A and B are shown apart, each in its own frame.
Chain A
Amino acid sequence: MRLKTFPGGIHPHDQKHYSKSATIRKYPTPNRVIIHLSQHIGAPSSPIVEVGESVLKGQVIAEPSGFVSLMQHASISGKVSKIGKFMHPTGAMSTAIEITSDGLDQMVALDDNENFMELPVESMKERIANAGICGMGGAGFPSHVKLSPPADKPIDVVVLNGVECEPYLTSDYRLMLERAEDILHGLRVIMKVTGAKKGMIGIEANKPDAIALMENLCAGRKDLEVVALKLQYPQGAEKQLIFAATGRKVPAGGLPMAVGVVVQNVGTAVAIYEAIRYQKPLIERVISVTGSVVRKPQNFLAPIGTLYSELVEACDGTSAPIGKAISGGPMMGFALPSLDAAMTKGSSGLVLMNKHEARSMEEHTCLRCARCVDICPMNLMPSMIANAVKYNDLDMAVKAGLNDCIKCGSCAYVCPAHIRLVQWIDTGKIRFAEAQRKK
């Protein structure tokens, strides 16, 4: 079978072997959780609870502060013990609500609507918004916003992202093996909400069992298609996935809806299904805790807000000193200063590397070897952007592609001079935004 793909990209070792055979384990109720107010793209949520207040599991504790914002729920029952700064999975300090468990794990009443597909679109959207769902693949765009495209942008294809192209991570893979039917329920809901006639599931070729299972379940359904994709990073990046699956190119600077496509992560699809059928808010997710120093790598179904340090302990700890702790995958994830961060709705994995794997390499001057140019999946000039930013020539940086960069990190991965290309491009983006504001 011919595998679909996109132009450019790299082939890092997938490192999935650590955790790919660990079935999803329900993580026991933690003593405390930290619910961040910024778990998504958009305005931070505003807290509606006060310190000392008792909350039930699933109760709303923060409300959206704008259209592109999100509702947040308590992921355990207990008392609000603090509202203050806590470590975010990006490594920065950010405002969050701390809940200390009462040990009861009491949940708000849920619904069970077997005829959930009969619900009108408007109430489906309402349930998705009320469940506080955002994209769970990493970027965290609020789903109710994504699923409400303007009337002049009809959607005809929904693509579910089961690519999981980041090395190490296996949370989506396990979910596809263990919750395949729920994913398809979610897909059907998203298709109904957006009015799309076609649903696709993109899965990378290193997960043949997930591809086979999905194909089995989709057999005979003309509106559903499983797309087997070549093992190539960043296959799961939105624009690359859309191109590989549908052949459509999202215009530069545009959104997928410009070509009639909506992309959702497979985990998000399950959350959406649970929100529609049970009115269950997004209070837990699957997270891979993996890497060479983790004694027993796991895929946990853990409450949002669980501390990373606790997750590592639940894997029997580490077998060697940690060199680097990465929140997310190693290509786009964040290196944490400590394990005190709490997981958010976008936390797909925690990767612990040993000192040797984490060793940094000395930065050289650019050789102009053009490897970054050859592999850039967005067809940009990474080294040229970095150089222009270095010399504060923002016009040149923009010409070389500054604003089209998706920060996938492929350029830095292949750079023999070990130039921190993504960091330079990031700096450029910040400077560009500042310059725009001044205008």
Chain B
Amino acid sequence: MNSNEKLIVSPAPHVHDRSTVKNVMWNVVLALIPALIFATYYWGFRALLLSLTGAVTAVVCEAIIQKLRKIPVTVHDGSAFLTGLLLAFNIHAGAPIWLPIIGATFAIAIGKQVFGGLGNNPVNPALLGRAFLLASWPTQMTAGWVAVKNSAISGLNDLSRIANNLSELSPKAYELVTSATPLNVAKTLRDTTFVSEINAQAGGIDLGGRIFGSLTEMETLKSLFWGNIGGCIGEVSAFALLLGAVYLLYKNIIEWRIPLFYIGTVFVLSFIFGGIPGSGTSVMLPFFHIFSGGLMLGAFFMATDYTTTPLTKKGRIIFGIGCGLLTIVIRLVGGYPEGVSYSILFMNVLTPLIDRLTLPKAFGKVKK
């Protein structure tokens, strides 16, 4: 052999599993494709258009900022695309097209690049973008939900299950179940004044209890599971999101602790505290709560964001429980019907503290 050959000298280890940042990010995007397909199926081409607008805006925005910062443009790594897509997933299909454009720009510029880019942002950029939009354009963010297949947004397709001629019986109750998302219905029914009002309108029957009961009926849960309800683009179908989640768990891209403890906490707390006065709780209520709103999207795709969640195993459990607790508090007694995004943002901020308080004991270290 030729002894003058140049050999590569580098520190051990000399083998690698060949995983890359790019691979991780694009795999997460891939895992969101089922949800995107379901959303397009239920809400039409507009859902796809808004999603891609968000993703492309994020990519363009990141490239421009990196050019301005005179650092290498790294948009091929997929992280900006993912942020933009997740941002758009937090907008409903009836929203104006400029909403995801502004949201994605804010998410990338203020949520990510200001802090130095990938790996340095303190909170989830997509959720920060969503919070910004909700604070700035609350009407556009919450009004004009698109109903699916001409049925009620709440997923209570067959209204006769609640009462024949609900529209005549109680116009107020009718408006609620046809124009609000399921979580909104659940929340409104916790208002005893509202319930007694519609009960009075209906001539004294327990209409509130009936509507609440219908939320946990198999029909409704099925709608929630398959996505036949109103909501944000990415909140579409628990099934589609779970499909992606299973893929990410299998590929070892996300870890089980945060989603399990997040969803588990919501499950348990919604059973204990989720009932309404007069009707109490139901064994099916936890299923209503875990399949509703943005929980599946949040637990598997947002609360598992690497940069903004704890490094330690114990910390991830605390993070998951904290998210679940806050989500339930917001859903049941807070000012919004849904609490997934704010609870994750709040826990993101606590992450450095959680890490410091949960440093693991080395193998063989004696517990003090």
Interface residues of A (CB under 8 A from B): 7-8, 10, 12-13, 91, 167, 239, 243, 249-252, 254, 309, 312-313, 317-318, 321-326, 330-340, 351, 353, 358, 360-361, 364-371, 373-374, 377-381, 383-384, 399-401, 404, 407, 409-410, 412-418, 420, 422-423, 426
Q: A309-B3, A338-B3, A381-B359 are in contact. Are A409 and B364 (CB under 8 A)?
A: no
B13 touches A331 (CB 8 A): yes
Which of A338, A364, A412 sits near B7, CB closer than 8 Å? A338
- Chain A residues, CB < 8 A from B365: 251-252, 404
Chain B residues, Cβ within 8 Å of A12: 15, 17
Interface of B toward A, CB cutoff 8 Å: 1, 3, 5, 7-21, 23-24, 116-120, 252, 255, 306-313, 316, 355, 359-366
B366 CB contacts on chain A under 8 angstroms: 251-252
By a CB distance below 8 angstroms, the chain A residues around B19 are: 414-416
- Tell me the nearest residue of chain A to B308, going by C-beta: A368
Once bound together, how far apart are the Cα atoms of A51 and B330, in whole Å? 84
Q: How far, in whole Å, are A325 and B24 apart by their CA atoms in the complex? A: 30
CA distance A194 to B233 in the complex (A): 69
Q: Given known contacts A379-B362, A381-B360, A383-B311, what 19 new A-B pairs fall within 8 Å (CB)?
A: A12-B17, A252-B363, A324-B9, A333-B12, A336-B9, A353-B14, A364-B119, A367-B307, A369-B24, A377-B363, A378-B363, A378-B364, A379-B360, A379-B361, A399-B359, A400-B359, A415-B16, A415-B19, A417-B119
**Contact assessment for B3 and A384 in the assembled complex, using a CB-CB cutoff below 8 Å:** no
Asked if B255 and A312 sit within 8 Å, CB to CB, the answer is no
B2's closest neighbor in chain A, by CB? A321
Residues on A with beta carbons closer than 8 Å to the beta carbon of B13: 330-332, 409-410, 412-413, 422
Check if B307 sits within 8 Å of A336, measured CB to CB: no
Q: Is the CB of B1 within 8 A of A317?
A: yes
A contact residues around B14 at 8 Å (CB):
324, 326, 330-331, 333, 335, 351, 353, 358
Let me know if B9 and A335 touch, CB within 8 A: yes
Question: Main SS of chain B's interface residues?
Answer: loop
Inter-chain contact A368/B306, CB cutoff 8 Å: yes
CA distance A318 to B5 in the complex (A): 12
CA distance A331 to B14 in the complex (A): 6
B124 to chain A, nearest CB (A): 12
Q: Is the CB of B359 within 8 A of A379?
A: no
Identify which of B17, B118, B307, B308 gathers the most chain A CB atoms within 10 Å of its CB: B17
Chain A residues whose C-beta falls within 8 Å of the C-beta of B5 in the assembled complex: 321-322
B10 and A335 within 8 A (CB): yes
Contact of B12 among A254, A330, A383 (CB under 8 A): A330
Q: Smallest Cβ distance from A252 to chain B, in angstroms?
A: 4
Known interface pairs A251-B364, A373-B313. Does A313 touch B1 (Cβ–Cβ under 8 Å)?
yes
Closest chain B residue to A293, Cβ basis:
B1
Say whether B9 contacts A91, CB under 8 Å: yes
Q: Which residue of B lies closest to A418 (CB)?
A: B16
The reply to whether B117 and A365 contact each other, CB–CB distance below 8 Å, is: yes
